[in-house]
A = this chain, B = another copy of it.
């Protein structure tokens, strides 16, 4: 009687595992313990050329503040990422600042005078103008269902982990066994600030998500990477008190000393991520969705794609 009130879709969603792969559970192990036991072969090295290293001016305690960002691999967002590589090579961000910190939303950096043509910092030549259609990309990946999958995603037909990245998938746009996908706005993801459409940003203004995943921005702004170390240097900054969390005075801004590609930074540690196509990652994701370590009494039975952060670490 009561059950007839429930939409059929909800019942079927329950019947469908949230993750395509339901590996043998690892009773009693926390997700972090499962990851710690992964064999070395399941970790994928991140090339230093795919890292962007931002050094901020030291904070109140005088300690260095370094933020390390991993840029997305092809075919995602390569137009903007090409610009970012050029901007870093030209030392374009050096001496600019963190200009916006909006609670539960984003931290943004770039040229605080960018809107003022007389004062704006001169851009290097050769930056691409990337069209907004590039927010979504065709991926030659075969069947998307072979990847670790989240079936219950309010923002996409479903979402998957593809070569280490959370992406939304739209089956209706596929051709052959390619599929159309886009990166999703999880905590720590880095995107490209822009003006009103059809502007899609040139990569000079960047932001990082520091709150609940603002997934309504998916397919509306370009995502280019994620912070893999040092996000606390951004997320703990004082919130701006102006509109949208912009600082109202120059004194409140945090200075950026330098932004460089990882390959141009001496003595940078090597980083690696847990292959999202690995057996351990499937177990880890399953455990994130079905916590059975001693603290927990009721496993959720599912998880949001942004609540399964891809493990990244300094290489061992």
Contact = CB atoms under 8 A, between A and B. Distances in A.
Contact of A216 (B236, B294, B307): B307
Q: Place the interface of chain A in its size category.
A: 35 or more
B215 A212 contact: no
Interface stretch (A80-88, A112-120, A154-162, A263-271): A154-162
Interface in A13-42: 13-16, 18
A13 B9 contact: yes
A192 interface: no
B154 A297 contact: no
A215 B13 contact: no
A8 B210 CA distance: 35
Contacts of A150: 154
Given A13-B13, A220-B297, A303-B154, A5 B143 contact: yes
Contacts of A14: 157
A283 interface: no
Contacts of A101: 236
A174 B303 CA distance: 24
Nearest to A175: B2
Nearest to A158: B10
A295 B103 contact: no
Nearest to A195: B295
Given A10-B158, A16-B9, A231-B103, A174 B2 contact: yes
Interface string A75-100: 00000000000000000000000000
Interface string A95-133: 000000101100000000000000000000000000010
